[in-house]
Amino acid sequence: MEDDYNYEEDDELALLDAEGDEAFSPEELSPNDQNNPWREVAIRAENEKQFLEQEVYKLQKEVRRLTTELNKLKAPPLITGNIIDILTDGRVVVKSSTGPNFLVYVASFVNRDKLEVGTRVSLNRDSLAVIGILPKSKDPIVSGAEVIEKPTISFDDIGGLEEQIVEIKEMVELPLVKPELFEKVGIDPPSGVLLVGAPGTGKTMLAQAVARSTNATFIRLVGSELIQKYIGEGGRLVRELFQLAKEKAPSIIFIDELDAVAAKRLDTATSADREVQRTLMQLLSELDGFNSRGNVRIIGASNRPDILDEALKRPGRFDRIITVPLPNAEMRSDIFKIHAAKMSLAKDVNLENIVQKTDGLSGAQIKAICTEAGMFAIRSESEQVTQLNFTMALEKVINFQETDQTASGVMFV
């Protein structure tokens, strides 16, 4: 028969022994006493007590969490603003997100040493007093421009551009890797390099190879992304872009399709053209303006250098213009060897024969020939690429180029 007992903290515990003729006090119910007939009962009671204490602690912790969450949901919303002036009496002038400027007080718990003109702060909804300092905002376009993972392209994967590789290493990589050489010679490191050439000649690949060969932060942006709808938004993006580069220095900014934002300024222009010109002027100021750019290198790329603004191409902004030409026969041979290195080629393949028929083609088109040849081999369920596959691929790429040129000619007539 199971024994029943009641335990109260301030009362004496009365329990009977096996014969039922003696009573035990709470002190006699020690689980450490080997001779105590109630030892097992005391052990169970102690375990249950510890279990209940743990449950109470968990429930109290959950209550505190829910209370904190409920207080957050009940808290009134805050207004964001920017400080535009700091007065000597401790008050500040803020521009709120609602539009007008306000003269307000600063809460005592706010670190005034961190308050300066331009600081983003949170304001009380009722009194508009400054109650917190917020981190600087970054536009998603700018914050997303930072390349986190290193590109897979290296200088070994670029064929036929040995001279251009040497120049871009001297202009971009060397100032970041060995800045002491420029200090010994007594000259300032080059500020930037502009890559120009026909589409598909390898301008972007050169920038990718530089990003891989250095430990600097690589920031990539397309010129058209700097063009915004509203007045001043494009210039703000440019400022934030260079501010991010300074914070992440040493860094490299790569602006692809630069002609989208850096076309020549004309007297006759629409309102949209004037906004593009304002963005360009902000870019010119950041490239070579009053403030030092620091350890930030610039790479620009364009296939329309003829329409670029002259102010952009002067030394001090882009110290060197590197022309990436269409490959000659030797360069095309190197490109074919690079792309065909991983391909399973049949014994009858003669790449030099194909090279002689690719005059005027770019590196991107040569890569397309290798890809198309592999697709023809897959279509015929062959495990090797034959000479016939390369011939068919060459004809397909050339016919596509001629069709594209004919369509372009009709379009612009």
Residues with Cβ within 8 Å of residue 226, at least 6 apart in sequence: 234, 237, 238, 241, 260, 261, 279, 283
Rounded Cα gap, residues 253 and 220, in angstroms: 6
pLDDT mean by block of 10 residues, the chain; 413 residues: 46 43 49 64 84 92 90 81 86 81 87 85 86 79 73 81 86 83 82 86 86 84 81 82 84 86 76 80 79 78 85 81 87 86 85 85 87 89 87 86 57 35
The pTM score is 0.67
**One-letter identity of residue 290:** F
Rounded Cα gap, residues 362 and 252, in angstroms: 27
8-state DSSP, 106: B
Rounded Cα gap, residues 218 and 286, in angstroms: 17
The predicted pLDDT at position 10 comes to 42
Q: CB neighbours (10 Å) of residue 169?
A: 17
Q: Is the dihedral of CA 115, 143, 277, 319 positive or negative?
A: positive
- Rounded to the nearest 10°, the torsion over CA 29, 31, 36, 39 is 90
pLDDT one-digit tens code per residue, 243-289: 888 888 788 888 888 888 888 877 766 777 787 888 888 888 888 76
Strand partners, 301: 195
- Report the chain's terminal Cα–Cα distance, integer Å: 107
Q: Is residue 210 within 8 Å of residue 172, measured between CB atoms?
A: yes
8-state DSSP, 264: P
